[in-house]
Structure formats: structure tokens, C-alpha cells
Amino acid sequence: MVSSNPLLNAAYAPLPIDKLFYDRAALDEGRTIIDSFVIPIRSGRAWKVAAGHVFRISTPEGPQVGDLNLWNANDTREHMWAARTRQLQAAHVSVHDRLWSNLPFLRPLVTIVSDTLKDYGVDEDGGRVHDLLGTRCDPYVNKYMTGMDFDLHCHSNLIRAVAPYGLTEFDVHDVLNVFQCTGLNSQDQYFMKACPAEKGSYIEFFAEMDILAALSTCPGGDLSIRMWGDDVPEGGDPMLSVCRPLQVDVFKLSDDTLKSWEPFNSDTYHGDHGLKAAGLRGN
């Protein structure tokens, strides 16, 4: 049963979106490419995207999972908040979904405008694509699971990517797992499946503000080989064979497309969290 309280139903929450504008942004024939680069396997890179621009993440050589972090480029205290995005949008995102920022900001950093995997839907195992359920692989869990040190997990790749921008490990946060297929099984346990992307698959994001983005090419590649567990193949590094690069393209949209866009503006909370009433803040 659907509650009549709009605050309990994300689909009915007061979060208006001009879908026609974002559809025009996706189809803008007047867009021009202003940056393009390839991120090699098991590495990471950060880049800036101006407000009103679109960036595309694609799979130039075939299926590959990427771990995405986002910040407000002008104030990196504001960054993507995976948990609230799951509540306001979905645990797996696609066209017209937004990636929201942390408190006290709580506003969309980007809006998804195009996704070649949008029709993947739900597979026979309950898997869906572009995951906010899990988070980045990291060397700390790997040490627990294998007893070995490994420097090329997504967490570490993101740390190296943002270091030139003055950020550190403490700034890396929960991710959007781009192209990753995941779900929850009947025991409510998280599972991952082989990436369903193909050569040339892509997803595009519209920057709602000046963005600093960072992306890791996951060392698990397309996740068709398990990273941990009793059934992991022995000998060498079998996952290396399923690792592929990712490509990033940044586009400037035409003035005609952008003329109807306005930066997101919300009536945010203006209180003091009860500090004054509790005698913890002066007049």
C-alpha cells in the first residue's frame, strides 16, 4: 500500500524535474566536445566539469566497471551522498535520476541525461545496473580477506586521482558504481554480477554546478571473475584478463539548449538545530 504522506514516498516527494530539458540536453546536436581522455585499467583520474556541461563515461573496448566520486568544485566539503540519493532516487539510477550532495547542502550535483543500459531493467537474479547499494573496493577489506596488500583498489585509485587537487583519503566517499550490476538476494545479502555493458556503452551526466569528478577503473574489471572466495581461480592474476579502460568526454551544450536551464534552488532548512533553545548558542 502506498502511503498518502508524500514524505514517505520518494516518487511523490516535492522534487520537481524538467524532464524535457534534460531530454533536450541528451539530444543536443549543437554540443561541442571540449575534453576527452581514456583512463587506463586499474587507475584513476579526476577532472573538472563546468556547470551546464555534460560528461560521458563510456566503455571503448568492452565491459568495465567504474567507481565515480563527485564534489562541488568550488567547495569540496560538498560531495555526493550515496545513501540519500538511494532514498530520493533509487538504489540503481538511470535517466532523469540525480546524484545528491551531503548535508547541510542537499542539492543535486548532476542529473543523468542519457544511458545506453537504461532498458536493462531487472534480470532473472534481481540484478540492476549503475549501483548505489555497494561501495568501492578497498585495500583494507582486501587485507582482511586475503592477507595481502594491493595498491590498485578503487579507493586507492581515487586517492591518487584527487591528490593533485589537494584532496586526501578523507575526501574519498561512497561511490556510484557505473556499469555495475548488483542486487540483494533472498537472504538480503549484496551480490555482484558480470557487467552487462558492451563496447561503446555510455552514461551521461549534466553538471548542475561546477563539478570535480573522479573515476576509478575497477581492478575487478567486468566482475566476471570473483575477487574473493573459495571459487577464485588460483595462479597469477586472472582478473587482469577482464580489465578494460574507460573513456570520459566532456561536452559544452549549445546556448539554445541551455537557455531554459536554471541552477537548482531549494528552500533549505534555516534553523539552528535547536542549539539556541538548548542554551548552546548565544543571540
Confidence (pLDDT) at 1: 41
Q: What order of strands is seen across the sheet that includes strand 98-100?
A: 32-39, 246-252, 53-58, 202-207, 108-115, 98-100
Confidence (pLDDT) at 3: 47
Closest CA to 138 of 162, 173, 165, 166: 173
How far apart, in whole angstroms, are the C-alpha atoms of residue 145 and residue 125?
25
Backbone conformation region of residue 273, classed left if phi is above 0, alpha if psi is from -120 to 50, else beta:
left
**Cα torsion for 164, 167, 169, 170, to the nearest 10°?**
180
Q: Is the pTM of this model over 0.85?
A: yes
CB 140 within 8 A of CB 157: no
Spans of all domains in the chain = 17-229+236-254
- Mind listing the pLDDT tens digit for each residue in 148-204? 999 999 999 999 999 999 999 999 999 999 999 999 999 999 999 999 999 999 999
Confidence (pLDDT) at 6: 47
Name the DSSP letter for residue 102.
Answer: P
- Mind listing the pLDDT tens digit for each residue in 52-83? 999 999 999 999 999 999 999 999 999 999 99
Name the DSSP letter for residue 11.
Answer: G
What is the average per-residue pLDDT within 88-97?
97
Between the alpha carbon of residue 86 and those of residues 58, 103, 174, 262, 273, the distances in Å are 23, 15, 12, 24, 24
Between the alpha carbon of residue 214 and those of residues 99, 162, 186, 276, the distances in Å are 14, 7, 34, 39
Checking if the pLDDT of 279 tops 80, the result is yes
- Mind listing the pLDDT tens digit for each residue in 214-270? 999 999 999 999 765 455 555 567 789 999 999 999 999 999 999 999 998 877 888
Checking if the pLDDT of 133 tops 80, the result is yes
Strand partners, 70: 213
Checking if the pLDDT of 120 tops 60, the result is yes
